[in-house]
Amino acid sequence: MTIAQTIVFENGTTEAMSQHACDAAAGARELSARVGAGDEAAFRELYDDYAPRIRRFVLALSRGNETHADEITQQTFLTAARKLRAVESEAHLWNWLARVARQHLGKAWRRQNREGEIQPLGDEAEIADEPATERKLETALEIAMRSLVPDEQNLIRLFYDQRLSQQEMAARLDTTPKAIANRLDRIREKLRKKITEGLRDEKF
């Protein structure tokens, strides 16, 4: 619990919050240990719980590059399946996954540099060493999401968080897959612009 949380909850609920934190830490330790032991069900649980967040993180870090976001998310969890061991807390688990994602993204950027492409954000070593990066990126993405109208936010959550196919979304929303695809394209472009605007002046 942070100092700010302690101040907010010092009216008698601190003990309950501390218990919640202990339960979350125990859950993270158990889950990570099971993944490290090769438990497939645990890996699926880890992926379902954290993959959407990792994808959003990489999407923001790469300024809307969906190819990077998809590839790095998959690489991150392949690494987790091989190398994750028991962690001490939920925050430790997230930080481990985020660090792996940054490392894979750094490798992708170095490959781009060798091929003459431009790296989207400065030096990836600086990004990996900056402890506030995660907060900055998630803030930029949250601001970008808030700029969307509710229907657009719903489409993004259905596609990325709930991982529905365009066909499933079309059936749910009584429209066609092509209409869904066109709307997603427009929304992605809006998000890319907002994320870029939000990160353009940041020093990572």
Cβ atoms 58, 108 nearer than 8 A: no
What is the spatial distance between Cα 44 and Cα 170, in angstroms, rounded to a whole number? 26
What is the spatial distance between Cα 44 and Cα 47, in angstroms, rounded to a whole number? 5
Cβ atoms 24, 38 nearer than 8 A: no
pTM equals 0.56
What are the pLDDT digits (tens) for 184-197? 999 988 887 887 77
What are the pLDDT digits (tens) for 146-189? 899 999 999 998 988 888 899 999 999 999 999 999 999 999 88
Q: How far is C-alpha 150 from the geometric centre of its chain's CA atoms? A: 21
Could you give the domains of the chain? 15-128 (1.10.1740), 130-204 (1.10.10.10)
What are the pLDDT digits (tens) for 51-101? 988 988 888 777 777 888 899 999 999 999 999 988 888 889 999 999 999
